[in-house]
Chain A
Amino acid sequence: MKRVVITGMGVVCPLGSNVEEYIKGLENNKSGIQKMEKWKEYIGLNTLVAAPAKIENEKSIPRKKRRSMGRMGIFAAQATEEAVKDSGLSESVITSARTGCIIGSTMGGAEAMNDTFEIMLPEKDLSKLSSMNFFKCVSHTAAMNVSQCFGIKGYVMATSAACASALQAVGAAYGLIQSGKQDVVLCGGAEELHAIVAGSFDILFATSTHFNDNPECTPRPFDKDRDGLVCGEGSGILVLEDYEHAQKRNAKVYAEVSGYHTCGSGEHVSQSNKEAMVSCMKETLKSADMQPDNIDYINAHATATIHGDKQEAEALKEIFGDKIPVSSLKGYIGHTLGASGSIELIAALKMMQKSKIYPTKNLNDVAEDCKGINHVMKIQEKEINSILKNCFAFGGINASLICKKIL
């Protein structure tokens, strides 16, 4: 099996449109959460907070490449551009058949779906539909648009597992390179914010609704006052590369991907399941040939839902006890859903690089049901040689990934 390393990273998220701005935002304890005045028009939508990302400089993407992109396509293309530049890979490598692209999202572009229904449904008239709506609505809109934009000729795939989509994309890319089928894979997730998406959580009482007038105070992962998740948007793209390929070109290496697992709970469509989480993390440790003590930092999924955080805290406690530092980044950037795995993994890799752990924002008072693990509540200096990233999704789907520094 080939070794797989991370050689490039790019981000668009509620804290900024590149990795530097994003990390600076974390460093400064900045909140990307805002009040969504426009959402007041939706009857029955109780959450009025969200974490939007900014579309900036989109016209730098040529019109014919951009016309089929919704917000998430633009986010993904811009994050990819940064990641590719960061990797230093040449255009000839990116456009060779040995380079692939796997980008996941919860669903296709919600804005385009909304527009399609608004155009089509009142009079059941298709003649007013743009040819581009379909390309923005499809489930693989991010992967498809990025692959067109960058001339990808290797594997092109889209993972679709709600909030585990991005981590599954990274996991799938890892597998393709391990097996020798690809040398390089651009991978991660993308998501766009829309009331359709937030509403789907809202009607399940999974969103934060008590902080509509104090958006910076929510979400509150693991906190006693947590009241649900806050939807966000953006894209996080990583360049995964065969280690030997990276060595040959003397590439900068952030970390090695050393373990991955994904599994279902087979239990419930929306409720997280501690046993399945434990199983996922244990299998990931096994695949990396590591023990719990070998992990230096855990980047939790923790979205600030009542049930999910409790299950994750219990699962972490069972495996890691109270030894390994744990933090969640949702308090800064909200839950970027299908993009969260890669956006948050990028921050965890930067923490590894900087030997510094960013704490769980808005965690002021650890909830009784989340105690027993090593919560990071203020910036902590620590040498980090290995990280574990978790993502747990609707459908009982879990994914965990381990990266370690190449020493």
Chain B
Amino acid sequence: MDKKKIEEMVNQVFEESFEIDKGDLSPEKGIFEDLGLDSLDIVDLVVALQKKFGVKIRDDNRVREIRTLGDIYNFIESLYNEGNFSADK
């Protein structure tokens, strides 16, 4: 899976779960201040990413470091490179 595909799938999560327009999704966007998510949304973001990529990340400490959309792309890419997930499609 290339980075572009990861970005596309992460963006889908933001569109489907948080009703954010595709045009507003770019790597530098802060997930709290720019995209408007709050602490409850983060729980659902984790659930949605787990479902989308077939991974378990709820207890992964790296989740706490995420600030921007780009951080999520990088985090998912790291998981992929570590060979520990089976993305759906």
Contacts and interface: CB of A to CB of B under 8 A. Distances in A.
Interface of A: 59, 63-64, 67, 127-132
A67 B45 CA distance: 13
Contacts of B18: 63
A131 B56 CA distance: 16
A131 B45 CA distance: 10
B19 A128 contact: no
Determine the interface band of chain B, counting residues with CB < 8 A from chain A.
10 to 19
B74 to A, nearest CB: 22
Nearest to B58: A127
A148 B25 CA distance: 28
B40 interface: yes
A131 B50 contact: no
B38 A128 contact: no
Contact of A128 (B36, B40, B41, B51): B51
Given A63-B19, A127-B56, A132 B50 contact: no
Contact of B43 (A63, A64, A130): A130
Given A63-B18, A63-B19, A129 B47 contact: yes
Contacts of A59: 19
B8 interface: no
Contacts of B41: 67, 131
Given A63-B19, A64-B38, A131 B44 contact: yes
A64 B38 CA distance: 9
B38 A132 contact: no
Nearest to A135: B40
B84 to A, nearest CB: 15
Nearest to B48: A130
A131 B19 CA distance: 17
Contact of B50 (A63, A64, A67, A127): A127
| Chain B CB within 10 Å, residue with most, of A128, A129, A131 | A131
A67 B16 CA distance: 12
B47 A127 contact: yes
A132 B58 contact: no
A132 B17 CA distance: 12
B51 A131 contact: no
A128 B52 CA distance: 12
A64 B41 CA distance: 9
Contacts of B19: 59, 63
Nearest to A66: B19
B40 A132 contact: yes
Nearest to A119: B47
A32 to B, nearest CB: 30
Contacts of A130: 43-44, 47
Contacts of B47: 127-131
Contact of B40 (A127, A129, A131): A131
A63 B56 CA distance: 26
25 contacts: A59-B19, A63-B18, A63-B19, A64-B36, A64-B38, A67-B40, A67-B41, A127-B47, A127-B50, A127-B56, A127-B58, A128-B47, A128-B50, A128-B51, A129-B47, A130-B43, A130-B44, A130-B47, A131-B40, A131-B41, A131-B43, A131-B44, A131-B47, A132-B40, A132-B44
